[in-house]
Chains A and B, each alone.
Chain A
Amino acid sequence: MSPQATSAQEAATRNAVEVQMTGLSRRYGQVVALDRLDLTLQPGELVALLGPSGCGKTTTLRLLAGLEDADAGQITVAGRDITHVPASRRDMGMVFQAYSLFPHMTVRQNVAFGLRLRRVAAAVRDRRAVEMLELVGLSEQADRYPHQLSGGQQQRVALARALAIEPQVLLLDEPLSALDAKVRAQLRDEIRRIQLEVGITTLFVTHDQEEALAIADRVGVMRDGRLEQLASPTDVYSRPATAFVAEFVGLSNRLAGTVSGGVVTVRGCDLPLMDRSTPDGPAMALVRPEAVTLASGYPADAGPLTGTVIALTFLGATSRVTVDLGDTTILAQLATADATAHPAGSRVTLTIRPDPVLVAVDGAASAGEGA
């Protein structure tokens, strides 16, 4: 059993709730932002919604928060229909993309604000605010004002404020997108740690696939108001349900091939298909860069997978090698030590690991990056 599944089960025992969205639709004029979305969040689970701009992920979150009204569909939390309950009575903690701390209040007052509205006694309120600030590691900053904090600190306070009211559901609307890369990675891990510690059902909206894959129990990839796939990060990456998911999450090489009997033949390599019911005929195989390996040398019988290295991109532990095959280019992702053995200009022979692949039926052959 995966660690995520274990944590979700533990959380379920700590009064975490199930969230169910059924047939949820939302239009803005002629634009369909959300098209009959069905999504269920298991108790204590962190689901990340991922997708390009305008795919409907933020709309989903705002409908769940009650900040907008659905045109159709139903939202239930712990079995209770909250579709028409106003935002102020939904009992959901939310962290926004923009810094949303109240500028006229100190950090402590910000965190205690929700409790104050619930008429919690001052002593309890203060104790709870301190606990929450300790949880996010900011108890030292309790008497500061938001403008005296960094962006990362402000978002941590916003998280503490959202959790202080002990909400049933935590909603995170791209909370890391305004932060620099290092703070972003730190805070991302911190959010996950806190979410597991508190055991709260969480919906996390992001356009950053790395973020989504790193912290979610399940990732939902959205497109044009619909959910293309909802699965564990591993499955979304290695077993994408559609060509869009394959191309959006991670990188994919689009290589022309021919489908026949559940196998696609690409430049002489037979690759099994994920969807064995794909009809026979020409298609584009979507091959991950890490499924491509390189060997130096230029055999006498130069095959269709022999080419010239035209670029080497250093990414730290791994490097990306771009190989020109004459009629197309192909990306390979290798350990940096292996990649540096093939400098730009060197001739190489490629091997494609026979992992199951998806095929797309449109577009020209090219090596491209997911959006």
Chain B
Amino acid sequence: MAALAPVGEVVREPSARRAAGVSARRRRRLNAFRYLVFTVFGLFFALPLLAMARFSLEGAKLGTWSVTAWSQIASYQGTQAVGIPPLISSIEITLELAVITCAVIVLLLVPTMIWIRLRVRWLSRTFEFLCLLPLTIPAIVLVVGLGPIYNRIQRVSLSALMLFWVYVILALPYAYRALAAGLGGLDVTTLAEAARSLGARWLTVIVRVIVPNMWQAIINALLLTSALVLGEFTIAYLLLYNNLQVELYSISRNTPNAGVLFATSTAALAFAFALLLILSYVGRRRRRSRG
């Protein structure tokens, strides 16, 4: 005899109940697998960083804690006895390089890309190819090619800031991609034509109409460029310039005080993360303020 079910209650067939049970078990297994993968890769990524941070806080005796290495970042003299601590000067240079490279990249790429999009669209493929080219050239090849050029540059200036020329080239593909994504989301032609019909000249169109609509893309380009400059070692080392990464390497080779090395590396990493957070926060705030 068939069982009576209250109105609204669904009586499931045994086979349907079995199917639902199997599906729930499969979902649970899948979720467990996801968490496992996430945990393994999270640990793989985080453990070395945590170990580095922990080692930078290692005291004189094994297993004790100390902030001595951190406090020495600003005063560590390395192999030189007097003068500005080399770590400080390399941090300064790297930050200056980041600022200069970012400024050059933005001033060079943003107007050029907008102009190509508006006026010389046929050039866009060639320009894209040129911008992405550095991705395909290994650093060592770049250095071999740049060697003679830097020989000449060093006759004029020995400053490590001259590295910005090569950093601009290195950052081109990343900055280009970020900016291209931002421009791709805009109907640049219509906005420009609307602005021009209202009386705007080309410069006004770019500065007051197009650029304000691609802030997020510009911030992304800046972020990628600064991350690249803060972490660059190979070219600076091979061209005999001292930036932060080269100085860290030098400390690791020449001093038994590895704590300073790890403290500085952790600080550089923390700085990069902080920069990332600040820039993404700025981008989010701009988006939110527009509704």
Contacts and interface: CB of A to CB of B under 8 A. Distances in A.
Contact of B200 (A67, A88, A101, A148): A88
A87 B199 CA distance: 7
Contacts of A101: 194
Contacts of B190: 96, 98-100
B291 interface: yes
Contact of B191 (A88, A102, A145): A102
Contacts of B194: 94, 96, 100-102, 158, 161
A302 B55 CA distance: 107
Given A67-B196, A145-B290, A145-B291, A104 B213 contact: yes
A294 interface: no
A281 interface: no
B198 A113 contact: yes
A162 B191 CA distance: 13
A284 interface: no
B291 A148 contact: yes
Contacts of B212: 102, 104
A67 B198 contact: no
Interface residues of B, number: 19
B197 A93 contact: yes
A329 B62 CA distance: 101
A161 B290 contact: no
Contacts of A96: 190, 193-194
B290 A104 contact: yes
A94 B193 contact: yes
A67 B193 CA distance: 7
B199 A89 contact: yes
Interface string B157-201: 000000000000000000000000000001100110111111111
A162 B195 contact: no
Contact of A103 (B196, B197, B201, B290): B290
B290 A88 contact: no
B112 interface: no
Contacts of B200: 88, 117
Q: What's the interface size class on A, roughly?
A: 20 to 34
B199 A114 contact: yes
Given A104-B290, A145-B290, A147-B291, A92 B197 contact: yes
Nearest to A117: B199
Of residues B196, B197, B290, B291, which shows the largest number of chain A Cβ atoms within 10 Å of its Cβ? B197
A162 to B, nearest CB: 7
B65 to A, nearest CB: 50
Contacts of B193: 65, 67, 87, 94, 96, 100
Contacts of B201: 88
Contacts of A98: 187, 190
A80 interface: no
A87 B220 CA distance: 33
A89 B204 CA distance: 14
A90 B200 CA distance: 11
Interface of B: 186-187, 190-191, 193-201, 204, 209, 212-213, 290-291
29 contacts: A65-B193, A66-B196, A67-B197, A87-B193, A87-B197, A88-B201, A93-B198, A94-B193, A94-B194, A98-B190, A99-B190, A100-B187, A100-B191, A102-B195, A102-B212, A103-B186, A103-B213, A103-B290, A104-B212, A104-B213, A104-B290, A117-B198, A117-B199, A118-B199, A144-B291, A145-B290, A147-B290, A162-B198, A165-B199
Interface of A: 65-67, 86-94, 96, 98-104, 113-114, 117-118, 144-145, 147-148, 158, 161-162, 165, 171
Given A102-B195, A103-B186, 14 more contacts: A65-B197, A66-B196, A87-B193, A89-B199, A93-B197, A93-B198, A100-B187, A100-B194, A102-B194, A102-B212, A114-B198, A117-B200, A145-B291, A161-B198
